[in-house]
Amino acid sequence: MKQPSKFRLAGKQQVAVFIVSMLLPLSSVAAAQPSADSNAEQVQRGEYLARAGNCMGCHTTRGGKPYAGGRELVTPFGKFITPNITPDSETGIGHWSEEDFWQALHYGKGRDGSYLYPVFPYTEYTKVTRQDADAIFAYLRSLMPVTQTNPPHKITPPYDNQFLLFLWRTWYFKEGVYEPDDSKSEEWNRGNYLVQGLGHCNACHTPRNVWGASQDDKLAGGEIMGTYWYAPSLISQREAGMGEWSVDEIAKLLSTGVTDHAVTSGPMATIVRQSLQYLSTKDMRAVAVYLQSLGEKRSEESSRKIPPMPERVSRYLALGEPVYVKHCQGCHGKSGEGVPGVYPPLAGNRSVTMTSPLNTIRSVLYGGFSPATAGNPRPYGMPPFQHIIRDHEIAWVVSYIRNAWGNLGSLVSPEDVDSSRGNEF
Amino acid sequence: MKFIVFILLAMGSGLINAQEPVSPLVPDTLEQRVKPCTICHGDEDRAGRDAYYPRIAGKPAGYLFNQLRNFRDGRRYYQAMAILLENLSDEYLLEIAHYFSSLKYPYPEAAANTLSPEETQTVETLIHSGDPERDIPACSACHGKALMGVKPFIPSLLGLPHAYVAAQFGGWRNGGSMRGQIPDCMSEIARKLSQEEVNALTVWLPAQPITAEPAETEILTTELTQRCQTTLSGEGFTR
């Protein structure tokens, strides 16, 4: 019974194909439609992926033309100037082919075959699939070309040597597209792909050795090169490990910049604004699932014994209390409890108590708003105190909040405050 | 497909809005949201009385909006402002600009005029007539007859602290204040003034009593409109 109907169907299809092929010569525009559509879809996907990778974050100067490069990235190895990646043929990547782009993203090689410096995170981008790389390239090709010549890198000798770079690569660069772990869910794998690949979270959230190489793909936290900010560990319970958070809360923090208990600040606020808030709900969830799996679970032994406080230390801490009452209490509360979703709590806040006091000191010095995002378009903020109170008062108050209300952290000196200044602005 | 995406987006934003922080402990006002600004720029009691930070209350909204974006985008250089504004959107900056523009705080008492009669004469000539020979326009030609600015883009010159006015002249003359804005009319004009004239202006301006509001409209000459076009345009500005 089935056979004849199949034949009939085949017959209909043949007729349809015949009719379409008859129309082809008449209307080449209509015939080109499917491929144009798929190209538009590829460009759209590329735009989304370029956001996820925050290409714009580095390849745009403050207030400059998007993707036209020119931003200075300061490292211990010299000053790198990001290139123009708009399709301008003279000053951008107008002459590049899909293959050239793949060579750069996947192998860290320039169009002329030279080795690229890992300040361009090809060490992470190598995990990106060819299909995604091609989509990003198609998107970049679709941009309006911008003629903008950027100054050359100022690399400190001997790091300007390609042979040294070759050695570095041999040692530290592992080429290869992300390979899914079949023992884990599809969602977890997607999150891993986004975090370790395009998202290149590793570029900041990892300690680097003296040669500037990330310590494998563990997101164990580290000071961000050239920024005077500390990117906390995404594993440790004492830093920003999210093992005890719900997936929803992680996703909310990363897509809106704020939750009841936490706000993003410094470079992370910028990443949320420029990149993470644009991730689809599904991708953001995948990222959250993966990050949650990285985080340590709270262990019983983690309740630390607090040694009795020497008299000298409690006297030093007491200096901070009046400063807190005068300048901080109004928003953060009498007991450092904060206001959910508006002003973060300081009691029990791991970014206050973690080993590096850098971020807390900088928040006091420079203040800041949480990022304006679709989910939190009119953020509240913290005033800068660099003009209001002196370094020793900042040292007192930071020491105080690191040790009040059950918090426990090292003391901060006025020298620590002074050495936390400075940035790219 | 697009329609489905739109529905999903609408649902998503609905969810997010439902979660938007609302706290009985903190007023849901712009006044509360801009606390980071008023710690330096002052509230009702202090506006314009600080030694350095300029009064922003009551300044024309378009001017404030342009300056907020200039600070954020690195066209006007001041580190504290650049860091503070880095992650704010145009929409929010516009709202903040309108908020400060709408504030009607009392002005501080005028400072003492310590200039000699000759110096005062020199300044008043520059203010009302400029110096056509050096191609210096009268200050009042752009900033309004009362020097209180012109809505929406031109700032007032009165009610500002001496140190702030002096720092702006210094910035314009050294090219440090506004980076990359061409044509930048105030840099060009400030460079044509002598140091003595600048010094006298920075004493005279804070010594003027304030008797008017920013002007609604005063038509600029075509030449000045051309010369100061970056100041007079505000992409994305709405009243």
Is A381's Cβ below 8 Å from some Cβ in B?
Answer: yes
Q: Give the pLDDT confidence score for residue B88 in this predicted structure.
A: 98
* Cα–Cα distance list, B178 to A281, B65, B67, B81 (Å): 41, 15, 10, 14
> Are B72 and A63 an interchain contact pair (Cβ–Cβ within 8 Å)?
yes
Total structural domains within chain B: 1
- Most B CBs within 10 Å: which of A44, A62, A72, as the mutation test of the B interface? A62
Q: Which residue in B has a C-alpha nearest to residue A369's C-alpha? A: B84
Q: Is the pLDDT of residue A12 over 60?
A: no
User: Sheet holding A72-75: strands in order across?
Assistant: A72-75, A78-81, A154-155
Residues B67, B68, B70, B71, CA torsion sign? positive
Q: Which residue in B has a C-alpha nearest to residue A278's C-alpha? A: B9
Q: Please report whether residue B111 resides in a domain.
A: yes
Q: Of A261-270, B176-185, B203-212, B225-234, which range is least confident?
A: B176-185
For residue A203, the 8-state DSSP code is G
Q: Please report whether residue B43 resides in a domain.
A: no
Q: Which residue in B has a C-alpha nearest to residue A378's C-alpha? A: B92
**Structural domain that includes position B57:** 53-229
Q: Give the pLDDT confidence score for residue B181 in this predicted structure.
A: 61
Q: Of A232-236, A300-304, A348-352, which range is least confident?
A: A300-304
Tell me which residue of A389, A292, A405 sits closest to A347, measured CA to CA.
Answer: A405
Residues whose CB falls within 8 Å of the CB of residue A396, separated by 6 or more in sequence, listed in order = A316, A319, A320, A323
> Are B33 and A381 an interchain contact pair (Cβ–Cβ within 8 Å)?
yes
Q: Please report whether residue B59 resides in a domain.
A: yes
Residues whose CB falls within 8 Å of the CB of residue A323, separated by 6 or more in sequence, listed in order = A389, A393, A396, A397, A400
Helix intervals (H) in B20-150: 30-33, 35-41, 61-72, 79-85, 90-102, 117-128, 139-143
For residue A86, the 8-state DSSP code is S
Burial (CB count <10 Å: 0-12, 13-18, 19+), residue A19 = exposed
Q: Please report whether residue B152 resides in a domain.
A: yes
Q: Give the pLDDT confidence score for residue A59 in this predicted structure.
A: 98
Q: Is the pLDDT of residue A334 over 50?
A: yes
Q: How far apart are CA A254 and CA A276, in angstroms?
A: 6
Query: What pLDDT band is residue B3 in, cutting at 50, 70 and 90?
Result: very low
Tell me which residue of B10, B209, B31, B111 sits closest to A381, measured CA to CA.
Answer: B31
CA distance B166 to chain A (A): 19
DSSP secondary structure letters along A120-171: S-HHHHTTS-HHHHHHHHHHHHHSPP---PPPPPEEPTTTT-HHHHHHHHHH
Q: Tokens standing for B25?
A: 């402990």
Q: Of A146-150, A243-247, A287-291, B212-216, which range is least confident?
A: B212-216
Q: How far apart are CA B188 and CA B190, in angstroms?
A: 6
CATH, residue B164: 1.10.760.10
> Are B21 and A386 an interchain contact pair (Cβ–Cβ within 8 Å)?
no
Q: Please report whether residue B37 resides in a domain.
A: no
Q: Give the pLDDT confidence score for residue A2 in this predicted structure.
A: 40
Tell me: the pLDDT tens digits for A96-134?
999 999 999 999 999 999 999 999 999 999 999 999 999
Write down the mean pLDDT value for chain B. 85
Amino acid at A163: F
Q: Is the pLDDT of residue A5 over 60?
A: no
Q: Please report whether residue B235 resides in a domain.
A: no
Tell me which residue of A246, A230, A256 sits closest to A289, measured CA to CA.
Answer: A246
Q: Is the pLDDT of residue A359 over 90?
A: yes
Q: Give the pLDDT confidence score for residue A303 in this predicted structure.
A: 59
Torsion of CA A125, A127, A129, A133, to 10 degrees: 0
> Are B73 and A62 an interchain contact pair (Cβ–Cβ within 8 Å)?
yes
Q: Give the pLDDT confidence score for residue A25 in this predicted structure.
A: 40
Task: Tell me the percentage of chain A whose pLDDT exceeds 90.
Answer: 80
The ipTM value here is 0.87
Q: Omega before B132 cis (within 30°)?
A: no
Q: Tokens standing for A370?
A: 């949480």
Tell me: the pLDDT tens digits for B134-165?
999 999 999 999 999 999 999 999 999 999 99
Q: Which of the two residues, A280 and B185, has the higher pLDDT score? A: A280
> Are B89 and A377 an interchain contact pair (Cβ–Cβ within 8 Å)?
yes
Q: Which residue in A has a C-alpha nearest to residue B5's C-alpha? A: A280
pTM here? 0.88
Q: Is the pLDDT of residue B47 over 90?
A: no
Please give the distance of CA A219 from its chain centroid, rounded to a whole number.
12
Q: Tokens standing for A70?
A: 């020119």
Number of H helices, E strands in chain B: 13, 0
Phi, psi of B29 (to 5 degrees): -125, 160
Q: Give the pLDDT confidence score for residue A216 in this predicted structure.
A: 63
* CA-based R_g, chain B, Å: 20
Query: What pLDDT band is residue A4 in, cutting at 50, 70 and 90?
Result: very low
CB contacts under 8 A, A 180-199 vs B, are none
pLDDT (average), residues B48-69: 88
Asked whether the beta carbons of A81 and A71 are under 8 A apart, the reply is yes
Q: Which residue in A has a C-alpha nearest to residue B79's C-alpha? A: A425
Is A375's Cβ below 8 Å from some Cβ in B?
Answer: yes
Q: How far apart are CA B228 and CA B185, in angstroms?
A: 5
CA distance B190 to chain A (A): 25
Q: Which residue in A has a C-alpha nearest to residue B1's C-alpha? A: A41
CA distance A201 to chain B (A): 19
Tell me: the pLDDT tens digits for A33-52?
445 558 999 999 999 999 99
Spell out which residues of chain B touch residue A374, defining contact as CB-CB under 8 Å: 13, 16
CB contacts under 8 A, A 61-90 vs B, are 61-63
pLDDT (average), residues A396-408: 96
> Are B40 and A366 an interchain contact pair (Cβ–Cβ within 8 Å)?
no
Give pairs for B162-170: CB < 8 Å, separation 24+: B162/B111, B162/B202, B162/B203, B162/B206, B163/B51, B163/B52, B164/B52, B164/B53, B164/B54, B165/B201, B165/B202, B165/B205, B165/B206, B166/B198, B166/B202, B167/B52, B169/B193, B169/B198, B169/B201, B169/B202
> Are B32 and A380 an interchain contact pair (Cβ–Cβ within 8 Å)?
yes
Q: Give the pLDDT confidence score for residue A8 in this predicted structure.
A: 43
Q: How far apart are CA B131 and CA B59, in angstroms?
A: 27
Q: Is the pLDDT of residue B17 over 60?
A: no
What 3-state class would DSSP assign to A212? Answer: coil
CA distance B6 to chain A (A): 12
Report the residue from B30, B75, B80 with minimal CB separation from A63: B75
> Are B91 and A380 an interchain contact pair (Cβ–Cβ within 8 Å)?
no
How many interface pairs between A and B have CB atoms less than 8 angstroms apart?
A: 116
Q: Which residue in B has a C-alpha nearest to residue A375's C-alpha? A: B16
Q: Is the pLDDT of residue B34 over 90?
A: yes
Residues B59, B62, B64, B67, CA torsion sign? negative
Q: Please report whether residue B5 resides in a domain.
A: no
Tell me which residue of B91, B233, B68, B180 sits closest to A61, measured CA to CA.
Answer: B180
Q: Which helix (H) or strand (E) holds A335?
A: none
- Most A CBs within 10 Å: which of B76, B83, B178, B179, as the mutation test of the A interface? B83
Q: Please report whether residue B36 resides in a domain.
A: no
Spell out which residues of chain B touch residue A425, defining contact as CB-CB under 8 Å: 74, 79, 82-83
Q: Tokens standing for A399?
A: 């020491």
Report the residue from A269, A383, A425 with minimal CB separation from B39: A383
> Are B83 and A382 an interchain contact pair (Cβ–Cβ within 8 Å)?
no
Q: How far apart are CA A357 and CA A116, in angstroms?
A: 34
Spell out which residues of chain A touch residue B17, defining contact as CB-CB under 8 Å: 375
Report the residue from B13, B23, B79 with minimal CB separation from A339: B23
Q: What is the widest separation between alpha-carbon atoms in chain B?
A: 75
Q: Is the pLDDT of residue A11 over 50?
A: no
